[in-house]
Amino acid sequence: MAPATSPTDAAGLGRGRAVAFALPALVLIGVFLVFPAIWTVYLGLTDYRLTGPAAADPRLVGAGNYTTALGDGRFRDSVWLTVQFVLGSAIIGQAGLGFALAWIMRDRRGPVRRLVEALVLLSWILPGSVVAFLWIALLDRDGGTLNALLGTPGAAWLLDHPMPSIIVFNTWRGTAFSMMLYSAALENVPPSHLETARLAGASAFQQLRDVVLPRIKGHVLTNVLLTSLWTFNDFTPFLLTAGGPEGRSEILPVYVYNVALRDGQLGFGAAVSFLILVINLVFALAYLRLLRDRREVPG
């Protein structure tokens, strides 16, 4: 998974001390993550609700919540929207733009690079609730900045193009992480190798594919795994579109919120959360496979 440095025990840690180093983190994770997560998975097997009779006396329903979810058109639509959201904003948007920025700025120094980096990073660290206001102000159909700039008064971006809107939004929101990761990764590509390839007549695409990609594969994997996972669980678009109009931007985290918090169906919501985990796993396996296959192509 990581760039291939042989992980020898250089500091003479030994098994015992390694366990001692990792233990505090593992204990905290065990108590505050694994335990509630397993409890949540268990809740997914019940009809538990926040209020009403099922709150007092939840019953085991086995796989009932799962069959209900899989049979629910709204859930399946939501899965499809989420896949679009992840591919569009995490893979093409964040990873693509992040890599492009890292590539363009790799041998740039000075104020331009600092300015671009500062803006990209700011959009990453501003609080979500504030960011939602910023984007509503940008995309609003009556007084939105975008309509004023484009001279398209009344264009309802969030209503007529909800998915593209939140995809662009999430690209804006999260590109910083990919940009930083790829900037670091590109430092591992010796300029001389690129030069050699260029002199040998390789096109830019060929250079990227044959010289750059093999050296940053580990970073690409880390990048797509993490950004996909984060995007799969990103609730901020709710603040922009509330999942609408008519559920046309109801991605899975919004679906879970509506089901668990608005409707109070905590058991069902827990089951859907577990399904999100499974979908993530499928994505992860696909990434692993894709990048492993690439490795077999001789560089």
Tell me which residues in 189-218 interact with other proteins (CB under 8 A).
Answer: 218
Considering the complex, state which of residue 95 and residue 180 has its C-beta at the smaller distance from other proteins.
180
Distance in Å from the first CA to the final CA of the chain: 18
Task: Give the span between the Cα atoms of 152 and 146, in whole angstroms.
Answer: 8
**Helix, strand or coil for residue 46?**
strand
Task: Give the span between the Cα atoms of 82 and 69, in whole angstroms.
Answer: 15
Among 45, 46, 47, 48, binds other proteins (CB under 8 A): 48
Give the range of 8-16, 77-85, 87-95, 205-213 binding other proteins by CB under 8 A: 8-16
Contact between 21 and other proteins by CB under 8 A: the answer reads yes
Contact between 81 and other proteins by CB under 8 A: the answer reads no
Among 78, 79, 172, 211, binds other proteins (CB under 8 A): 172
**Dihedrals φ, ψ of 160, to 5°?**
-85, -25
Site for other proteins in 235-254 (CB under 8 A): 235, 239-247, 253
Q: Which residues contact 253 (CB under 8 A, 6 or more apart)?
A: 232, 233, 234, 235, 238, 276
Site for other proteins in 105-124 (CB under 8 A): 105, 112, 115-124
Task: Give the span between the Cα atoms of 40 and 65, in whole angstroms.
Answer: 13
**Helix, strand or coil for residue 7?**
coil
Which of 210, 188, 217, 177 is closest to 1 using CA atoms?
Answer: 217
Among 61, 131, 211, 251, binds other proteins (CB under 8 A): 131
Considering the complex, state which of residue 80 and residue 263 has its C-beta at the smaller distance from other proteins.
263
Among 83, 202, 213, 226, binds other proteins (CB under 8 A): 226
**How far apart are CB 152 and other proteins at their closest, in Å?**
14
Task: Give the span between the Cα atoms of 62 and 75, in whole angstroms.
Answer: 19
Token reading at 250? 């109801």
Contact between 52 and other proteins by CB under 8 A: the answer reads yes
Considering the complex, state which of residue 212 and residue 272 has its C-beta at the smaller distance from other proteins.
272
Instruction: Give how many residues touch other proteins by CB under 8 A.
Output: 131
Among 62, 191, 206, 263, binds other proteins (CB under 8 A): 263
Considering the complex, state which of residue 58 and residue 294 has its C-beta at the smaller distance from other proteins.
58
List, in sequence order, every beta strand (DSSP E) within 130-220. none
